[in-house]
Amino acid sequence: MIETRKEIKDALRDVFPVASAIAPYSAVFGALAIDQGLSLTELLVTSASIYAVASQYVMLDLMLEGVALWSILLAVLAVNFRHVLYSAASVRWLDQFGPMQKALAFFLLVDPQYATCEARHTKTPITPTYYFTYAACVYIAWMIANLLGALFGPLLGDTSRFGLDLILPMFFAVLVFGFRQKPRFFAILSVSVASSLLVYFVLGSPWHITLGGVCGILTAAALSEGPQSKEVAHG
């Protein structure tokens, strides 16, 4: 009982700064989604079921442009892909979880959840109590901020006046730039950008996303030098 209480206390202590950092993203997404034409129900279903801010931005952007469904899914997969690494790493700290607990844990495996568990498990084993207390707080903060953004965002009026319409491309640019320490980053980036632009002007949208992406991925695979050059996964 004392153990359980301590786990909950630890989780609440660790989650507080994270929940307050997540809230603004969620509020901005809520406001933007409504501004771009999503209904309130669609927005809440999106945030409650996908629960991944970058993927939701991509989906929103492409869905409202009327891009084909498979292109949307490919782009969402791309933005989300780092979660495969988190999920693989979670093998080390989810061993106390039963099958149903694991199934729920994967749904809640967002960036801060991963980062916190990765740091904590070297000192203390991750218990379901700790994990789900932390996760529930993040999820609740996320949904409330989302709703508040949707309700009060429209009061701002036309968002392009403030330059908010470029938030999505800027957000993606920062995500890409964050990977600059990865092996052969500049080679992959140059190939993807060059092929994307070429395809964009020759074939048009949305082929530049798929073909540009595929060219970059093939470049990375071709340049890989084998197990000795393998990078160390996060943390």
Partner 1 sequence: MADPYLTIFLCALLTYGVRSGGHLLMTYFGTVHHRIEAGLNAVPIAVLSALVAPTVVTEGWPEAVAIVLVCLLSLRFSMLPSLALAVLALAMMRQIAGV
Q: Does 107 bind partner 1 (CB under 8 A)?
A: yes
Q: Does 142 bind partner 1 (CB under 8 A)?
A: no
Residue span binding partner 1 (CB under 8 A) among the ranges 11-19, 115-123, 131-139, 224-232: 224-232
- DSSP conformation class of 162: G
Distance separating alpha carbons of residues 34 and 22, to the nearest angstrom = 19
Measured in whole angstroms, the distance separating CA 142 from the mean position of its chain's CA atoms is: 13
Distance separating alpha carbons of residues 61 and 169, to the nearest angstrom = 10
Pick from 16, 169, 203, 234 the residue near partner 1 by CB under 8 A.
169
- CB of residue 49 to partner 1, shortest distance in Å: 4
- CB of residue 143 to partner 1, shortest distance in Å: 14
**Hey, which bits of the chain come out as E strands?**
none
Q: Does 32 bind partner 1 (CB under 8 A)?
A: no
Q: Does 55 bind partner 1 (CB under 8 A)?
A: yes
- CB of residue 3 to partner 1, shortest distance in Å: 26
Residue span binding partner 1 (CB under 8 A) among the ranges 4-12, 132-140, 142-150, 209-217: 209-217
Residue span binding partner 1 (CB under 8 A) among the ranges 5-13, 128-136, 137-145, 173-181: 173-181
Amino acid, single-letter form, for residue 183:
P
Distances (CA, A) of 204 to 39, 61, 148: 29, 17, 37
Distance separating alpha carbons of residues 150 and 208, to the nearest angstrom = 32
Which of 42, 52, 103 shows the shortest CA–CA distance to 77? 52
Residue span binding partner 1 (CB under 8 A) among the ranges 11-19, 135-143, 144-152, 208-216: 208-216
